[in-house]
């Protein structure tokens, strides 16, 4: 990973900040008790240390249990499987990005025209993926769950909403899936690591794609 994960929260005290979605939580899951939340943060901190030292390949349920000095069963009960653990790590790193496009300043956040927000959204996701690409690739679920997992549905839903504002007569559900395909971590890895394309080229390509889909002029 080219960027470290942000610090894990040390408490669950209420604040006046906007409530962010828990992207990987199961629907209907009750709020964690304070001790359970601390244990979850402890496990994620151990996993983050393993990622920093060994890369995503070094994150196994057994290794996290040893690093956190807990039984392996505790890790499985909290995260389900390795994919769930890795997705929880990504969920934490994505909180800042999520806050930016839900309630941050425009053009990424509310207040800008929808096409401008789409442009800013794609650039932000590309940069976030570049910073966490190894972990994103390791955390991708199997094909049957890939497009239906909560983080993907959330991002796709945001793009769908912006498209409906910009193109009310279009099939925005299908268009959103097409746009999100451009932001797929596997494609970003292929283009940047295997084809040697700079991230700036991918950002320019996103701006061009948004202009063609929304039938708007390229920004000057």
Task: Check if 32-80 and 87-214 are the same fold.
Answer: no
Cβ count within 10 A of residue 58? 15
DSSP 106-120: TTTSTTS-HHHHHHH
Q: What is the residue extent of each domain of the chain?
A: 32-80, 87-214
Task: For 37-95, write each residue's pLDDT tens digit.
Answer: 788 888 988 888 888 888 888 889 999 999 999 889 999 999 898 888 888 888 766 77
| Sign of torsion over alpha carbons 35, 75, 70, 65 | negative
Task: For 139-196, write each residue's pLDDT tens digit.
Answer: 877 777 777 777 788 899 999 999 999 999 999 999 999 999 999 999 999 999 999 9
Decide if domain 87-214 falls under CATH 3.40.50: no
Q: Domain 32-80 maps to which CATH number in 1.10.10, 1.10.8, 1.10.3470, 1.10.1060?
A: 1.10.10
Reported as a pLDDT band with limits 50, 70 and 90, residue 11 is very low
């Amino acid at each position: 990973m080219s960027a470290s994960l942000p610090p894990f929260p040390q408490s669950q005290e209420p604040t006046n900040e906007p409530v962010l979605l828990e992207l990987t939580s199961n629907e209907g899951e009750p709020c964690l008790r304070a001790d359970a939340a601390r244990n979850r943060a402890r496990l994620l901190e151990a996993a983050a240390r393993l990622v920093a030292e060994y890369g995503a390949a070094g994150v196994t349920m057994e290794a996290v249990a040893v690093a956190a000095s807990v039984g392996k069963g505790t890790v499985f009960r909290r995260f389900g499987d390795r994919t769930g653990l890795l997705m929880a790590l990504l969920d934490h790193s994505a909180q800042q990005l999520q806050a930016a496009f839900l309630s941050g300043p425009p053009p990424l956040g509310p207040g800008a025209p929808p096409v401008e927000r789409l442009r800013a959204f794609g650039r932000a996701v590309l940069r976030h993926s570049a910073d966490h690409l190894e972990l994103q690739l390791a955390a991708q679920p199997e094909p049957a769950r890939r497009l239906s997992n909560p983080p993907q549905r959330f991002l796709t839903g945001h793009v769908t909403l912006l498209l409906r504002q910009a193109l009310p007569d279009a099939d925005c559900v299908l268009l959103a899936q097409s746009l999100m395909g451009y932001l797929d971590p596997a494609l970003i890895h292929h283009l940047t690591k295997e084809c040697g394309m700079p991230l700036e080229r991918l950002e320019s390509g996103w701006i061009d794609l948004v202009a063609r889909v929304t039938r708007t002029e390229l920004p000057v």
